[in-house]
Structure 1
Amino acid sequence: MMRKKESPEKREEPFEDVAECHRVALKHYVDLHTEEKFRADLFKPMKEKYPNISLGNLKNFIKGKSPLSEKKRIQVASFLGFRYEEFIALGRKLMDLKESGMLPDEPDAEALSLNRAAGKIFQEFQDRHDLSDMNMAHVLGMDSMEYSFKKRGLIPFSFEEIETAFQEADEKAL
């Protein structure tokens, strides 16, 4: 007797789909760095470096309409200055933040501006006190990859993290 193939149950964790993590990170990056009318300009140099990536296919991938091969996802991450694993981790973190309500679905220009300013403040603090990203991440109680995302303005610093940095600055000044 042949058994009917059971359909796999959907996973409770949405983070398991690597392509979806990459898509979320890419959409977030594009939203942060370009206005809609300039998105093609962001990827034109990539087209020259990686002619195998169609801008139309990339646009459809960002919108969730079509897949993008792992090879192409690696090339996109590299073009944007990330290791592939970093980009996947960014996507997972973004999904987690959105699910917990700590990150809006659409970027807010004022919030993005404040977040970029916070990243500059953290960099200045590091420069003044000769601290590495690893040291700063330790002070804030996070891993260095998450700190790197926050310093680049890709995900927001919390008020508690900013407060911790200022307290650390006060202690260093004494």
Structure 2
Amino acid sequence: MRSVFKLLALMLGLNALACAALITGEDKAVSESTYDAALATELGADDYGMRSYVLAILKTGPNDASITDEAKRKELFAGHFANMGVMAEAEQLVLAGPLDGKMQRRGIYVFNVKSIEAAQELIKADPAIAAGIFEVELHQYYGSAALMAIQKTHTKIQKKKIG
């Protein structure tokens, strides 16, 4: 869990730096020795190494407290994790992880889609969301295109599967 928070903090920090450069109007060329045009194209990066995503914040839903049957909750969460796996395999889900639960915020998704509407279609398949255990808040998000490389790296370091 700490690694998810460290990754999220790093991601937000990189985005803050990139946005600060955009706001100040700096248009500095990156050293040709570090820029990889093929990788930038593969990851869908713009000239700043960024791209658009949709950020989803999963919050405690209206039915969370009322679904008390342990077997039912286990089934819904198994479907929740399976759905995340399907979306990750299809490169629609770039990043996912739990939050601390404060202010009813339970987790995040970063979707590789262009619109809120496309993200809404993806979350319809999640049984925990459909059952009301979670509700979802969606936002347009502009972040590092390097996020697209997370899944490839994660599969190399994951020893056990979740769910």
Same fold (TM over 0.5): no
Larger strand proportion of the pair: 2
State the TM bucket, normalised to the shorter chain.
under 0.3
The answer to which structure has the higher helix fraction is: 1
Report the TM-score when normalising by structure 1: 0.26
Name the TM-score, length of structure 2 as normaliser: 0.28
Higher relative contact order (CA 8 A, sep 6+): 2
